[in-house]
Structure 1
């Protein structure tokens, strides 16, 4: 039996992205666990290290996550002492997320981990930069369609 080439698994861009994403997430998970972070928590920390004191909505927009996904994770991160959550006095619907001293201190450890991660990837720095640019463009193009 011959299947149409276009429906073979190895021809699917979605599967190639899925497999690469799973492999990358596993690499990070093994290195983040000793730091007490999950991969999604790591992404939140990256956003806050870039700009502290963001609202849940702003973090969600940056990570393409809804508040229903973020809120339970942020509560766990607060219990772990990485962030603080505070309702805006002018608009109690808004919750501002800020790094704690413990959350700020973790940045140096993550930076060291990130340097180690770069050595594991089988691409030259310029190829990584090109791949990041292409993937960001792909993501933007797909999000514009939804």
Structure 2
């Protein structure tokens, strides 16, 4: 059995998943280009920012914040560890948990990247008619994924 071509057009034009993926890729490409002078990608920026806390977070809390599974997060941490931008350590209160910490080099990269992010983020928000509304709608969708067991 084949799906008729007539089905393709309305899916292409109305699929929220497709439109969200396309927008996410386009935005990520813009941030990747902008953040190149800081030596990181948009994904690495998000990861480093998620570690910028007074106390080192557990890997599980960072995975939840970024809506990543632990395996994917661990794979994304490896290049940052190799560059000595982050450090992982066992949690002294829970041997099963790993704590993630920015190193001084990681803090320096983040300090270089933040002004770039601020500038491009403001530029992108100016292109949108209702950035706060979009953010609210995206948050609703991300929370529905949590409820459905998607982003654990």
TM-score, normalised via structure 1 length: 0.83
Q: Is the 8 A contact 1:84 1:99 kept in 2?
A: yes
* Structure 1 segments unaligned to the other structure (5+ residues): none
Return the offset for 1:54.
0.7
Equivalenced residues, count: 144
**Does structure 2 conserve the Cα–Cα contact (< 8 Å) formed by 1:85 and 1:96?**
yes
Structure 1 residue 123, shift from structure 2 partner = 2.2
- What does residue range 56-95 of structure 1 map to in structure 2 within 5 Å? 56-95=59-98
**Structure 2 residue runs without a partner (length 5+):** none
Which of 1 and 2 has higher RCO (CA within 8 Å, sep 6+)? 2
Give yes or no for contact 1:88–1:96 (8 Å, CA) kept in 2: yes
Q: Per-residue CA shift, 1:102-128, capped at 9, x if unaligned?
A: 11122332221122213432126xx21
* Partner in structure 2 of residue 3 of structure 1: 6
* 1:123 maps onto 2:128 in alignment: yes
Question: Which of structure 1's runs of 4+ aligned residues deviate more than 4 A?
Answer: none
TM-score for both structures, normalised by structure 2 = 0.81
Q: Distance in 2 between matches of 1:5 and 1:81?
A: 47
Residue in structure 1 matched with residue 38 of structure 2 by the alignment = 35
